[in-house]
Amino acid sequence: MTGHRLLVTGAANGIGAATVRAARAQGWDVAGLDRSFPGETPHLTAALTADLGTDASTVAAFTELDQVWPEGPTAVVHCAGVYRVEPTSDLTAEAWDQVFGINARGSFLVARESARRMRAGGSLVLMSSLGAERGDAHEPSAAYSASKGAIVSLTRQLSAEWGPLGIRVNAVSPGVIDTAMTSLTDDPDAAAEFFAARVPLRRIGTADEVAQVCLFLASAAAGYVSGAIVPVDGGAAIS
C-alpha cells in the first residue's frame, strides 16, 4: 500500500490503535487523530489532537493535516467514539447529547472534512455497532445504540451522495470486542452465558479482527463496495 495515506481517528486505543498497527504493517502512510496520545508516536506520520464533537476543533485538526498531506488522505477510518451504559429511565438529556455529540455529530464532521479533501478513489469507513441492530437488557445503552443507528443512516446517505464523486463510504458494525470499552467480560459467568446464547462463534472478538475489515474496506480491494454495513460480530446479528 505504499503511497496510500490513511487517517485513523481514535488512534490511541482499542480498534483505532489496532487499525494503525495493521495499516503500518501493510505499508500505509498513517496519521492518527485522538483527544490525546499517551506517549511518543514515531509510528505515525502525524499525531493530531481534537475534540471531534466540536466543529472548530475538527476543522482545525484537518487543517493541520493539510500541512502534512496537501493532496489529502486516500482513506479515513473513523473509530473515535464513546460508550455509556445507563438505564434509559435514569439517562439525562445532557448525557444523551454528549454521546450523540461525539458518536453521531463527530462522524458527520469527520466525514465532511474527509470528503472535502479526498479525490476520486477515496474511501471513508465509519464505525457502527451491533447495538444499532439489537437491544441489550444486560448493558442498557440507549444513547449509544441510537447514535450508532444514526451512523448506519449516515453511511447510506453519504454513499449515495458521494458515489458520483468517486468516494466510497462504508461502515463496520462490531459486536462484543475485547477493548477497554467492554464491561461484559468483567463478569465471567455473564460473559459465558452471553456468548453461549447470542454469539454463534462462542467467543469475544478482537480489535485486530475489526481492524482487518476496516483496512479491507479502506483499500482498493473493496473498490466496488459502497454503502455496506459490515458486521464483525461472530454471527451475533443473526443469532
Domain ranges of the chain: 5-238
CA 205 to chain centre: 15
Average confidence (pLDDT) over 173-189? 76
Q: How many residues does the chain have?
A: 239
Question: Does position 1 have pLDDT exceeding 90, yes or no?
Answer: no
Are 167 and 124 a contacting pair, CB within 8 Å?
yes
Residue with the bigger pLDDT between 96 and 191: it is 96
Which residues are designated catalytic? 144
How much is the mean pLDDT over the chain? 93
CATH class of 5-238: alpha beta
What pLDDT sits at residue 154? Answer: 98
Cα separation, 127 vs 27, in Å, equals 23
Left (φ > 0), alpha (ψ -120 to 50) or beta: where does 138 sit?
A: alpha
Instruction: Take residue 144 and report the three cell numbers written for it.
Output: 449509544
Contacts of 31 (CB under 8 A, 6+ apart): 5, 6, 7, 8, 44, 45, 46, 47, 48, 65, 68, 69, 73
Dihedral, CA of residue 228, residue 177, residue 54 and residue 77, to nearest 10: -50
Dihedral, CA of residue 38, residue 44, residue 45 and residue 47, to nearest 10: -20
DSSP, residue by residue, 108-155: HHHHHHHHTTPPTT-EEEEE--GGGT---SSS-BHHHHHHHHHHHHHH
Three-state SS at 172: strand
The tens digit of pLDDT for each residue in 217-226 reads 999 999 999 9
Question: Does position 186 have pLDDT exceeding 70, yes or no?
Answer: no
Question: Does position 183 have pLDDT exceeding 90, yes or no?
Answer: no
Strand ranges of the sheet holding 168-174, from the earlier edge strand across to the other edge: 46-49, 29-34, 5-9, 75-78, 123-127, 168-174, 229-232
Number of Cβ within a 10 Å radius of residue 160:
12
What pLDDT sits at residue 172? Answer: 98
Question: Does position 184 have pLDDT exceeding 70, yes or no?
Answer: no
